[in-house]
Structure 1
Amino acid sequence: MKHLICFHLFNDYSGSPKILKMVLENFLKQHYIVDLVSSKHGVLDELLCYENLHKHSYPYRFLKNPIVMMLYYCAVQLYMFVFAFRWLFCKDIVFYINTLLPVGPALAGRIMGKRVVYHYHENAFVKGRSYKILAMAMQKLAHEIICVSCYQASFLKQKSNLSVVPNALPQEFVDRLRFIPKAAFMRKRVLMLGSLKLYKSPLEFVELAKRLPQFDFELVVNDTQENINCFVKEYKINMGKNLTIYPKQNDVTSFYNRASLVLNLTNKKQAIETFGLT
């Protein structure tokens, strides 16, 4: 029976943990033993029903102060680095690193002589300097890198042991989609799914709702209602009757089913999407 040790930094309802859930569920159904090291209260917790999954959790959340956030991130990396050594004497295991961020356990894996596989979701070379450093570390530490698109892979200097596996939706999600074009057109409802990060353009979406009162706008945010309320207050957002902002959702099929148009307004000058789920 094979053994997989998976590390993912922030367990929420964004694209990368959802893809990870699909990957791990496939391994679990094939009777692999999976140890998952990640934070609490996200989509990955839906895997706890599997007896061959062992989840090791820690608290993690995003903070507004960038210096405090970096210190918090470094502390979690140190924790994961040390925690990874509990598998020092385990044979035939793979360290599966989801996204660039868990660099601590990747380093520990290489020190212990374990096979390290990265699932690379970001495009570090169109982000900040810290992401570029993490991408350089990944190319040094990884035995294999899984990219989500050829475009994303083209930025990496390492060309060996590189594979491309496009993101996909679970079949059970697709089976629940009911799209009737004529009815969708008549509803005049505009949908966007994203986060409160400004490069995702939530403020631009709000402005569209303000300028187009003849349409209904729905924004599904991967965050808590408390943080949404703070965001609305901070940016003095006037919630019109045609705009509704929802906190993170376990299932978004109902939003897609009643939408006429789905937008992705990511600011290409600040971030370039890497063929994610939206």
Structure 2
Amino acid sequence: MEKYYLCHLYDDFSGSPKVLSQLVNVLNNQELDNVSILGSSSSGFISKVSSSTERFFYKRSNNKALTLFYYLLSQFILFFKLSFMLFKDRKIKNKVVVVNTLLPFSASLAGKIFANKTILYSHEISIKPLVLNSFLLKFHSIFVDKVIYVSNFLANELKNKLLCDYSVVHNSLDSIYIESKMTDQELEKKWSGKTILMLSSLKDYKGIPEFIQLASNMKNEGLTFTLIANCEPYEGETYFSRFSLPHNLNILYRPSDLLKWYQKSFLVLNMSRQNGWIETFGLTLIEGMSQFNPVIAPIVGGPVEVVSNSDSGFLIDSRNLNTIQKTILDVADNYNYWLVLARNAKLRAHDFSFAKYEQKIVDEIKEIN
């Protein structure tokens, strides 16, 4: 008998909770239903696939010192809660702890003491402040048995800092994205709509100021820019109050049907600043590509493994707005050119199917038991 204990700190609608939710779906598909999920009281992708999360205290604050205190307190509570669960299940032959991201570090310690194996599921290249990042890397190096990275880029960056066995399992698409199809008429309508989509959290380093500037620069080109923000409306109102927003920019807050917005758009952008935030994979890129969207992505990090330049999209530094503008206009002015890119994007997205992810992640989990 085996049991899995999946530990995460903060659940929302960003990348790392999304990936852990896919692992939950894999365990469900494999009928490995002996699973416990531990997380704070936040809700997002993980809570959508599991209604039985063991909750522990964690909250954020505008005060950095208070946030640090809450974080450390959360790890103290998590350690004892997970340790108690593992000790209570001591008769179970194989107990595997999966720590999602570097942040819930106390789960690695509890896993080392009371579990058979501990896996770190690594999504981020660094955490600020740097002293915390350094501590987390050294801590996990001592207590985890294996690291699963979401990209070769991330593995190459951290394999000499997280000193343990590792493997790479690329993120995947939900089946509904792969199975979605579009007729020739729908594709032509999609291109004619001229909607450009970006999904982002409310951080300048994610390229939001550049996206707004791009929309402003192209407000007379018949293009619509849509930004889907991973935040509550009141947070967005505060953030965007410092910008002069052009009329061709729409902002949406956590819409329930992301698939619909990918289907309505004809280009998907990721404009993360390479000197402020390096994407370790780029899940929104493959989601967009699965719906026949060519993409524009950063020139460094995980997106380089996903996007074939000038084939399924373009790798362009977000600081080069003139190049991005020219690329958008070239694609918007030539349907046949766009169609070739769009079909290549859809084909590339199949490389990240849930079925392929499921096979690889199961192999990795079974390998360490």
* Length-normalised TM-score, structure 1: 0.89
- Report the equivalent of 1:36: 37
Q: Mind listing any 5+ residue stretches in structure 2 that lack a counterpart? A: 285-369
- Report the equivalent of 1:202: 208
Equivalenced residues, count: 272
Residue 2 (1) aligns with residue 2 (2): yes
1:208-257 Cα deviation digits (max 9, x unpaired): 22221132111111111111112123xx2233321111112343111111
- Report the equivalent of 1:232: 240
Instruction: Determine if contact 1:222/1:249 at 8 Å carries over to the other structure.
Output: no
1:157-207 Cα deviation digits (max 9, x unpaired): 256521110111111232236485533332221110010012102122112
- Report the equivalent of 1:71: 69
Instruction: Determine if contact 2:95/2:115 at 8 Å carries over to the other structure.
Output: no
- Report the equivalent of 1:166: 170
Q: Aligned partners of 1:177, 1:247: CA distance in 2, in Å?
A: 26
Measured at CA, do residues 208 and 65 of structure 1 come closer, stay the same or move farther in structure 2, by a change above 3 Å? farther
1:59 Cα offset (Å): 5.6
1:62-106 Cα deviation digits (max 9, x unpaired): 433322222221121111112112222423211111111110111
Task: Please identify the structure whose Cα radius of gyration is greater.
Answer: 2
Measured at CA, do residues 44 and 22 of structure 1 come closer, stay the same or move farther in structure 2, by a change above 3 Å? same
Query: Equivalences for 1:64-213 in 2 at 5 Å?
Result: 64-86=62-84, 87-90=86-89, 91=92, 92-124=94-126, 128-155=130-157, 156-157=159-160, 161-176=165-180, 178=182, 180-213=186-219
* SS of structure 2 residue aligned to 1:271: coil
Letter in 2 for 1:75: L
Q: Aligned partners of 1:181, 1:152: CA distance in 2, in Å?
A: 35
Instruction: Determine if contact 1:218/1:245 at 8 Å carries over to the other structure.
Output: yes
Q: Aligned partners of 2:56, 2:182: CA distance in 1, in Å?
A: 38
Instruction: Determine if contact 1:13/1:249 at 8 Å carries over to the other structure.
Output: no
Residue 257 (1) aligns with residue 263 (2): yes
Measured at CA, do residues 256 and 22 of structure 1 come closer, stay the same or move farther in structure 2, by a change above 3 Å? same
Q: Aligned partners of 2:128, 2:240: CA distance in 1, in Å?
A: 28
* SS of structure 2 residue aligned to 1:124: coil
Q: Aligned partners of 2:172, 2:256: CA distance in 1, in Å?
A: 17
Measured at CA, do residues 111 and 8 of structure 1 come closer, stay the same or move farther in structure 2, by a change above 3 Å? same
Instruction: Determine if contact 1:195/1:222 at 8 Å carries over to the other structure.
Output: yes
1:3-43 Cα deviation digits (max 9, x unpaired): 11110111111111111111111112323211111133211
Between the aligned residues of both structures, percent identity stands at 27
Measured at CA, do residues 123 and 28 of structure 1 come closer, stay the same or move farther in structure 2, by a change above 3 Å? same
1:60 Cα offset (Å): 4.3
Out of 237, 241, 244, the position equivalent to 2:247 is 241
* Length-normalised TM-score, structure 2: 0.68
Q: Mind listing any 5+ residue stretches in structure 1 that lack a counterpart? A: none
RMSD of aligned alpha carbons: 2.2
Instruction: Determine if contact 1:126/1:272 at 8 Å carries over to the other structure.
Output: no
More helix by share: 2
Q: Aligned partners of 2:134, 2:205: CA distance in 1, in Å?
A: 18
Instruction: Determine if contact 1:127/1:270 at 8 Å carries over to the other structure.
Output: no
1:130 Cα offset (Å): 2.2
Q: Aligned partners of 2:128, 2:188: CA distance in 1, in Å?
A: 39
Q: Aligned partners of 1:193, 1:61: CA distance in 2, in Å?
A: 24
1:33-60 Cα deviation digits (max 9, x unpaired): 11111133211112236xxxx3112464
Measured at CA, do residues 258 and 202 of structure 1 come closer, stay the same or move farther in structure 2, by a change above 3 Å? same
Instruction: Determine if contact 2:232/2:253 at 8 Å carries over to the other structure.
Output: yes
Measured at CA, do residues 62 and 258 of structure 1 come closer, stay the same or move farther in structure 2, by a change above 3 Å? farther
Q: Aligned partners of 1:268, 1:147: CA distance in 2, in Å?
A: 20
Q: Aligned partners of 2:60, 2:203: CA distance in 1, in Å?
A: 11
Instruction: Determine if contact 1:126/1:271 at 8 Å carries over to the other structure.
Output: no
Q: Which has the higher contact order (CA 8 A, sep 6+)?
A: 1
